[in-house]
Chains A and B, each alone.
Chain A
Amino acid sequence: MNNIYEKFNLLLVEENKEEATKFILELLQNKEIDILELYMDILTPSLNLMQCMEDKRLCIWKEHVRTAIIRTIVECCFPYVLKKRDELNYSKKGTAIVLCPPEEYHDLGARMVTDFFTISGYHAIYVGSNTPYSDFRNAIDIIKPNIVAISVSNYYNMVVTKKVIKEIKEVVGYPIKIVVGGNAFNNDTEKYKIVGADYYAKTYEDIKNIAGDEVAL
């Protein structure tokens, strides 16, 4: 696994999109890596542990390019996600919507979490970054999800997250569960309580546990 990570990382440093994508897809094709392993052990650290070695002024540029490469890989993985879901065959659990609050643009984590929800047996809807607040509230009325997962990277967005969660809980007339995650919450596992969420999720295991709770209810 370490070898895979190191090789992949090298390709990312070179910003070689073509080879990086080919490399991962071949691994999946040959069943040399499991989709969950790929997400948890290769892609997530590649995103989070990026070090900015060179000129500081290019950091954000580099980060964006890397994110774009990984995004392409994630999108290409969808057939394998479905395969994994069918393989594990958890009970059907209703709808989970995954989104980022307004002004939050770091959405790749949310995108990956959507796949975790899919694998866990949810009808998972990925809404994406910078979701306008009113749209999303109106959508909840129609979709009536069991779970709303909000991904927050910039800790300033916890302010609006708290507001959104409060309003959802006031408006929705059934026991909806709110999951939060992302960089803003990662340094303190109790932080999710501040914004009024029900769960904090960082890993696939966390999502699986939440799904388990849901079933138990």
Chain B
Amino acid sequence: MNNILELKNIDKIYGTDIKTQVLYDINLSFEQGSFNSIIGQSGSGKSTLLNIIGTLDKPTSGEVLIDNNNVGNMSNNKLAAIRNRMIGFVFQFHYLLPEFTALENVLMPYEIKGGKITKEIVKKAEEYLSLVGLDNVKNNLATKMSGGQQQRTAIARALINEPKIILADEPTGNLDSDSTENIYELLRKINQEIGTTFIIITHDRKIAEKTDRIIEIKDGRINLDIRK
């Protein structure tokens, strides 16, 4: 299997005067189409790691290779393009744009890519929305939806550009257990049907125990890296 993502000797230090090291010499690689989880206590550095993987944050030293491209020396615009096309984000606080409807939110990454809104793409967005079970609320403003609905919208949004990697930071963090189960089933279905690589930060054992690989981060280091 190809590695879609590789991290080499990643260090992350915050602060200039008072230095706090959050990540120590992280080496990881993720296979295309794999379904991974990252666990660890709060403050362990797992979110920082995910942000570095997602090119939102830069490592102090070390290399991030996405699809064999080193993102370390890319310009901001190049990174933005990588985020737009290669990576889909799903965050705990779903981060929808409240001014836009569910459908418009889903279409947003496509519009950022520069695509013209055609009937085909709207149909595709609607398909993703129905995949996440939101046919009936697709024209609701983001603020007029429940937490679970918003989270599922965020997942549909992450899918629209058919990214190779989906990064999810506590995607079920503020959902009840039924919604959690639904979200997991949904992510798994996408993984199996589209072959998207998933890296999911979670503290929910119900999610983690169902992933194919668990990486435990402890005090900025990989404490455990196990596969099912």
Contacts and interface: CB of A to CB of B under 8 A. Distances in A.
When A and B assemble into the complex, do they touch directly, with CB atoms less than 8 Å apart? yes
B208 interface: yes
Interface stretch (A23-31, A114-122, A150-158): A150-158
Given A155-B226, A159-B224, 10 more contacts: A154-B209, A155-B228, A156-B208, A156-B209, A156-B214, A158-B226, A159-B214, A162-B223, A162-B224, A195-B224
A156 B205 contact: yes
A158 B205 contact: no
A84 interface: no
A194 B205 contact: no
A136 B81 CA distance: 52
B96 interface: no
A159 B39 contact: yes
A194 B226 CA distance: 8
18 contacts: A103-B205, A154-B209, A155-B214, A155-B228, A156-B208, A156-B209, A156-B214, A158-B214, A158-B224, A159-B39, A159-B214, A159-B226, A162-B216, A162-B223, A187-B228, A194-B224, A194-B225, A194-B226
Nearest to B206: A156
Contacts of B223: 162
Interface residues of B, number: 11
Interface of A: 103, 154-159, 162, 187, 191, 194-195
Contacts of A187: 228
Interface core residue of B39, B205, B225 (most chain A CB under 10 Å)? B205
A162 B224 CA distance: 8
B209 to A, nearest CB: 3
Contacts of A155: 209, 214, 226, 228
A159 B228 contact: no
Contacts of B208: 156
A191 B226 contact: yes
B187 to A, nearest CB: 16
Contacts of B226: 155, 158-159, 191, 194
Nearest to B208: A156
A158 B228 CA distance: 10
A156 B228 CA distance: 9
A162 B216 CA distance: 11
Interface string B170-213: 00000000000000000000000000000000000100110000
B72 to A, nearest CB: 30
Contacts of A159: 39, 214, 216, 224, 226
Closest 8 CB pairs of A and B: A156-B209, A159-B216, A156-B208, A154-B209, A155-B228, A158-B226, A156-B205, A162-B224
Contacts of A191: 226
Interface in B45-101: none
B213 to A, nearest CB: 10
B210 to A, nearest CB: 9
Nearest to A187: B228
Nearest to A162: B224
B224 to A, nearest CB: 6
A155 B208 CA distance: 10
Contacts of B216: 159, 162
A189 to B, nearest CB: 14
Nearest to A154: B209
